[in-house]
C-alpha cells in the first residue's frame, strides 16, 4: 500500500505544474486549514458522485473529470501547505534563545582561550565573532562558533568540554533563530510570496474553481434553496458522529426511524 505521504507528494507533483500559470493577481486569499479542506474535497465528491455523470451530461458544460479530481487536489494542497514556512510565536523564539544564549557565551569564551593558545588557524574568524549586539547577531555567532570549532577540530579536539551533540544543538538553534528573526528596520510588509506559498495558493485557487463547478451540478440537482443542506462547504469543521455501538438501539416497533440531528 502506498504511504499517505507518498500519495500527497505524488498528487502535488502532478498538479503543481498544471496550476503554475495562475497569476498572483488571481489567487484566492489563503487563511485556512489545509487538512480540513482535504477532508471536505472528498465529502464534496461523495455528495455529487451518485448523479454527477448524468447531471453533468444534461447540463452540457461541466468537466466531470476535473470535479472527480477534487480529493486528489486536496491531497496536493495538504502537501504544499506543509512546505510553507510559518513564523514562530514570540514565546517559541524566547524559549529557543534561552537555550541558545548560554551555549553561545560558552562557545565564544572557549574560542577566545583556544585562540590565545594559538590553536585556531585563522584568528580573524574568532575576532569577527566578538563585536556586535542584538538577537540576529547572537544567532549568527552561534553558527559561526560551530564552524570555527569544526574547521579547527584537528587541533582543538580534547581541549574543550563540548561534544558533537552539544554543537549540533547550538547549530540547530542558531540556524532556526536566523530563519525566524527579522533584522531591525527591514521592510517585510510587502514581501513577495515564497515559491512554496505561491504554489499552495495556486492549488487552493484551482480547488475553489472546481468546487464552484461542482456546486453548479449540486444546484441543478437540489436547487438554490436546498443546495447548502446537501453540498458540503469546503471550510466546514465536521465532527464525527459517535460510534453506532455507543448509540441506544431504536425500538423495534417504531414505524418512523429517529433522525439524528447534524452535529
Q: What is the pLDDT of residue 3?
A: 59
pLDDT greater at residue 31 or residue 108: 108
Residue keyed to cell 451530461 = 57
Instruction: Return the C-alpha cell found at 78.
Output: 495538504
What residue segments make up the domains of the chain, in order of their start?
Answer: 4-85+194-246, 90-180
Centroid of chain to Cα 43: 22
Contact call for residues 80 and 199 (beta carbons, < 8 A): yes
Q: What is the pLDDT of residue 258?
A: 38
**C-alpha pair distances (Å), 58 with each of 7, 52, 77, 217:** 33, 10, 31, 10
Q: What is the pLDDT of residue 247?
A: 42
The DSSP code sequence of 99-116 is HHHHHHHHHHHHHHHHHH
Which segment of 87-91, 138-142, 225-229 scores lowest on mean pLDDT?
87-91
pLDDT value at 195 more than 80: yes
Q: Percentage of the chain with pLDDT > 70?
A: 83
pTM: 0.60
Q: What is the mean pLDDT of the chain?
A: 86
Using one digit for the tens of pLDDT, what is the confidence trace for 198-243? 999 999 999 999 999 999 999 999 999 999 999 999 998 864 443 3
Which segment of 149-158, 172-181, 218-227 scores lowest on mean pLDDT?
172-181
Please report which residue ranges of the chain form alpha helices under DSSP H.
4-19, 34-59, 64-68, 70-83, 90-116, 123-129, 135-151, 153-156, 164-180, 195-222, 227-230
**Positive or negative: CA dihedral 138, 140, 144, 146:** positive
Question: How many C-beta atoms surround the C-beta of residue 23 within 10 A?
Answer: 8
**Mean pLDDT, residues 182-203:** 72
Report how far residue 191's alpha carbon sits from residue 197's, in angstroms, rounded to the nearest whole number: 12
**Mean pLDDT, residues 37-58:** 96
Which segment of 5-9, 18-22, 107-111, 121-125 scores lowest on mean pLDDT?
5-9
pLDDT value at 76 more than 70: yes
Q: What is the pLDDT of residue 193?
A: 76
Report how far residue 141's alpha carbon sits from residue 173's, in angstroms, rounded to the nearest whole number: 11
Amino acid at each position: 500500500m502506498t504511504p499517505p505521504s507518498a500519495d500527497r507528494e505524488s498528487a502535488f507533483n502532478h498538479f503543481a505544474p498544471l496550476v503554475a500559470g495562475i497569476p498572483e493577481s488571481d489567487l484566492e486569499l489563503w487563511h485556512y486549514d489545509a487538512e480540513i479542506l482535504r477532508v471536505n474535497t472528498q465529502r464534496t465528491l461523495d455528495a455529487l458522485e451518485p448523479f454527477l455523470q448524468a447531471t453533468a451530461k444534461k447540463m452540457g458544460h461541466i468537466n466531470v473529470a476535473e470535479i472527480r479530481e477534487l480529493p486528489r487536489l486536496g491531497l496536493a494542497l495538504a502537501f504544499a501547505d506543509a512546505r510553507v514556512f510559518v513564523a514562530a510565536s514570540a514565546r517559541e523564539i524566547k524559549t529557543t534563545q534561552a537555550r541558545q544564549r548560554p551555549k553561545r557565551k560558552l562557545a565564544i569564551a572557549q574560542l577566545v582561550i583556544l585562540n590565545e593558545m594559538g590553536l585556531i588557524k585563522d584568528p580573524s574568524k574568532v575576532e569577527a565573532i566578538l563585536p556586535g549586539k542584538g538577537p540576529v547577531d547572537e544567532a549568527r555567532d552561534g553558527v559561526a562558533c560551530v564552524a570555527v570549532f569544526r574547521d579547527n577540530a584537528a587541533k582543538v579536539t580534547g581541549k574543550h568540554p563540548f561534544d558533537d551533540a552539544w554543537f549540533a544543538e547550538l547549530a540547530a538553534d542558531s540556524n532556526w533563530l536566523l530563519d525566524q528573526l527579522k533584522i531591525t528596520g527591514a521592510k517585510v510588509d510587502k514581501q513577495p510570496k515564497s515559491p512554496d506559498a505561491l504554489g499552495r495558493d495556486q492549488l487552493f485557487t484551482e480547488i475553489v474553481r472546481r468546487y464552484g463547478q461542482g456546486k453548479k451540478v449540486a444546484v441543478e440537482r437540489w436547487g438554490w434553496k436546498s443546495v447548502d443542506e446537501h453540498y458540503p462547504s469546503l471550510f466546514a469543521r465536521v465532527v464525527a458522529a459517535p460510534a453506532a455501538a455507543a448509540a441506544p438501539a431504536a425500538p423495534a416497533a417504531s414505524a418512523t426511524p429517529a433522525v439524528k440531528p447534524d452535529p
